[in-house]
Amino acid sequence: MTGQLLVGQMMERPLLISGLIEHAEQTHPNTEIVSRRCEGDIHRYTMKDAAKRSRQVANLLQRLNIAPGDRIASLAWNGYRHFELYFGVSGYGAVLHTINPRLFAEQLVYIINHAEDRYIFVDLTFVPLLEAIQEHIQGVEGFIVLCDEDKMPATSLSNAQCYETLLNNESDVFAWPEFDERAAASMCYTSGTTGNPKGVLYSHRSTVIHAMASVGEEALGLASTSCFLPVVPMFHVNAWGTPYSAAITGAKQVFPGPGMDGASLWELIDAEQPDLLLGVPTVWLMLLNHMDSIGKKLESVKNVVVGGSAAPMSMIRKFQESHDAFLIHAWGMTEMSPIGTVNSHNNHMESLSLEERYQLQAKQGRPVYGVEMKIVNDANETLPRDGKTFGRLLVRGPWIINGYYKNDDTSSFVDGWFDTGDVATIDSNNYMTIVDRSKDVIKSGGEWISSIDLENAAVGHPELVECCVIGARHAKWDERPLLLAIRKPESTITEQDVLEYLSDKIAKWWLPDAVIFVDSLPHTATGKLLKVDLRKEYENFLLETA
Ligand code: AMP
């Protein structure tokens, strides 16, 4: 192309997180935000209150001499105070580092020091966690406990102060600063299965664009008419960006706080009647089991967004057939803010039989506009979108990482694309299906077996609670699948029963070589199966038992 482009004549207003809360205050002042608190009670206030208190947070940061770009950490459940920090800290120009409390102590120490957090805002629940590691995080200048004055605990944390007392002393007048939209707004460390966690630094621009892209019906569907319950934690990829999306549309939020078990979730659902739930499969297993045990239906719920791990077919069916709820399967990563693909309800599904629709729903979905994706082979050549060929999944887009924080490792970045570490297929309608993590796929006689597909098939057995499939060394085939399974407490099913159950659900040569019943399975801090140690433990199982 020759000649000069004609430049458009449009304003370049920066996309800032403060703009989201200002919009919310003006447009949705009376939208309710309901939270279960660590103190045990239910708290209610409105978007207007949240906006006001975010400005008090900003004034507090100023009083604490926080400079733009400084890292301020939070160690908290989903709740209104955490919501205020999202806007107060980022809006001020500092960076909110949301810490995952499920990380091991050494990982917590590592990320707090690596991020150089100056202050940590902490929920009552997690005070002991910080007390235990305090001597190793001496760069932290103070701890602000997210509680009322009369709930302030006796703590060995040095310079511990009460959030509500501090906020009470601050004015709610604060002029949000304007700065470059590329400035960092928040950060989250990946929990990783090996090595130190890696920091992902989100910008104001990436956060706002991601929020704008997430609200529509082709994505999460967070309209002003919806009331949603994000069980996905605010300490992991910003609760999938939903607090920001809610500020755009004014959807009502119901925060579950520390009550993540089936009974507590049901209590909140029954009281607040959300039509949309968001979370990882493990949480929904607990909720579905609880609903079975009390014989009730999730009347208000229309959609359940499931991501973080593959949604098993049995769950897709269960939500639909027992609760009239549509399971929206979604896939993403910490490095992608996190939304990549969403399998939302669409007109095409209307023409399918229920069985065909279930098959389609089991796929991880189509990319939200803004995310480009492709699959490649080992030579980085693009593979066909035929729904069969699988390869390494690469992505790019305005809310996808282009480098880890203070980390020179560029091995995940290929010619402007990010290598997700997932192996996938993409079909001619751009539906993507995750086959496996590239590290977890089992190579049997040169052919690949998807550990995820096997797990999902096995967990459909009514007497199994959780399943994990790993590759074990095999004399003839190099590697063969082993199924580790947790049975329901009263169950007496045998290895043979499980293999029979699987026999008409998967290819014969995929049948596990052994089924081992275990009492528990290890998980990462974000609830995914942690297979590294299991692979080591069972590496020679088949050689030894042959
Ligand atoms: P994280 O960064 O901890 O959120 O983990 C991201 C990884 O979780 C992805 O790379 C996938 O391997 C996995 N994951 C997320 N969503 C799904 C899904 N719907 N199905 C299968 N795996 C998923």
List the end-to-end C-alpha distance of the chain, in Å, as a whole number. Answer: 66
CA of 74 to the centre of ligand 1 (A): 23
Smallest CA separation from ligand 1 atom 6, residue? 333
CA of 28 to the centre of ligand 1 (A): 33
The atom of ligand 1 lying closest to the CA of 364 is 19
Residue 520's pLDDT is 93
Cβ neighbours around 304 below 10 Å, total: 26
Cβ neighbours around 294 below 10 Å, total: 9
* DSSP SS3 for 214: helix
Cβ neighbours around 493 below 10 Å, total: 18
Which amino acid type is present at position 276?
A: L
CATH topology classification for 442-545: GMP Synthetase; Chain A, domain 3 (3.30.300)
Kind and range of the H or E run holding 287 = helix 281-294
The atom of ligand 1 lying closest to the CA of 334 is 2
Cβ neighbours around 341 below 10 Å, total: 29
Note the pTM of the prediction, 2 decimals. Answer: 0.92
Task: Decide if 141 is catalytic.
Answer: no
1 has pLDDT over 80: no
Tell me how far apart the alpha carbons of residues 164 and 143 are, in angstroms, rounded to a whole number: 13
Q: What percent of the chain has pLDDT over 70?
A: 99
Tell me how far apart the alpha carbons of residues 394 and 174 are, in angstroms, rounded to a whole number: 42
* SS3 sequence of 222-277: CCCCCEEEECCCCCCHHHHCHHHHHHHHCCEEEECCCCCCHHHHHHHHHHHCCCEE
CA of 436 to the centre of ligand 1 (A): 10
For CATH 3.40.50.12780, the residue range(s) in the chain are: 12-218+232-249
CA of 528 to the centre of ligand 1 (A): 8
Task: Decide if 39 is catalytic.
Answer: no
Residue 527's pLDDT is 78
| pLDDT, averaged across the chain | 95
Residue 419's pLDDT is 97
Strand bridging mode 184-189 / 199-203:
antiparallel
Kind and range of the H or E run holding 74 = strand 71-75
The atom of ligand 1 lying closest to the CA of 338 is 4
3-state helix, strand, coil in the chain (%, to 5): 35, 25, 40
CA of 119 to the centre of ligand 1 (A): 30
Contact, 411 vs 422, CB < 8 A? Answer: no
**How far are the Cα atoms of 125, 142, 232, 359, 528 from residue 131, in angstroms, in the given order?**
12, 12, 26, 49, 27
CB contact burial 6-16 (16+ within 10 A = b; e otherwise): eeeeeeeeebb
Check 372, 439, 448, 488 and give the catalytic one: 448
Which amino acid type is present at position 332?
A: G
Q: What CATH number is given for 371-437 in this structure?
A: 2.30.38.10
CA of 242 to the centre of ligand 1 (A): 17
Task: Give the tokens for residue 284.
Answer: 């929904």
For the stretch 239-253, pLDDT in tens is 999 999 999 999 999
Residue list, ligand 1 pocket, CB within 6 Å: 190-191, 237, 307-310, 329-334, 338, 364, 420-422, 434, 437, 526
Among 70-74, 472-476, 515-519, the least confident range: 472-476
Among 90-94, 225-229, 316-320, 408-412, the least confident range: 408-412
Smallest CA separation from ligand 1 atom 9, residue? 333
For the stretch 274-298, pLDDT in tens is 999 999 998 998 999 999 999 999 9
For the stretch 326-385, pLDDT in tens is 999 999 999 999 999 999 998 889 899 999 999 999 999 999 999 999 999 989 999 999
Which amino acid type is present at position 236?
A: H
For the stretch 158-208, pLDDT in tens is 999 999 999 999 999 999 999 999 999 999 999 766 678 999 999 999 999
User: In the structure, what pLDDT confidence band is assigned to residue 532 with cuts at 50, 70 and 90?
Assistant: confident
533 has pLDDT over 90: no
CA of 421 to the centre of ligand 1 (A): 10
Check 22, 272, 335, 466 and give the catalytic one: 335
Residue 109's pLDDT is 97
**What residues are paired with 288 via a beta bridge?**
none
Smallest CA separation from ligand 1 atom 4, residue? 333
The stretches of 73-162 forming alpha helices (DSSP H) are 80-92, 105-115, 127-133
For CATH 3.30.300.30, the residue range(s) in the chain are: 442-545
For the stretch 207-220, pLDDT in tens is 999 999 999 999 99
Mutation test residue for ligand 1: of 237, 306, 360, 434, the one with most atoms within 8 Å of CB: 434
User: Peptide bond before 256: cis, by omega within 30 degrees of 0?
Assistant: no
Mean pLDDT of 512-521: 95
Residue 193's pLDDT is 62
Task: Decide if 448 is catalytic.
Answer: yes
The atom of ligand 1 lying closest to the CA of 191 is 3
Contact, 310 vs 452, CB < 8 A? Answer: yes
For CATH 2.30.38.10, the residue range(s) in the chain are: 371-437
Query: DSSP assignment, residue 154?
Result: P
Among 91-100, 320-329, 367-376, 457-466, the least confident range: 457-466
226 has pLDDT over 70: yes
Query: Shortest CA distance to 229 belongs to which of 196, 251, 244?
Result: 251
**How far are the Cα atoms of 64, 118, 235, 449, 544 from residue 100, in angstroms, in the given order?**
24, 17, 5, 32, 39
Q: What CATH number is given for 12-218+232-249 in this structure?
A: 3.40.50.12780
**How far are the Cα atoms of 101, 125, 452, 534 from residue 15, in angstroms, in the given order?**
30, 34, 38, 45
* DSSP SS3 for 141: coil
Check 31, 98, 190, 249 and give the catalytic one: 190
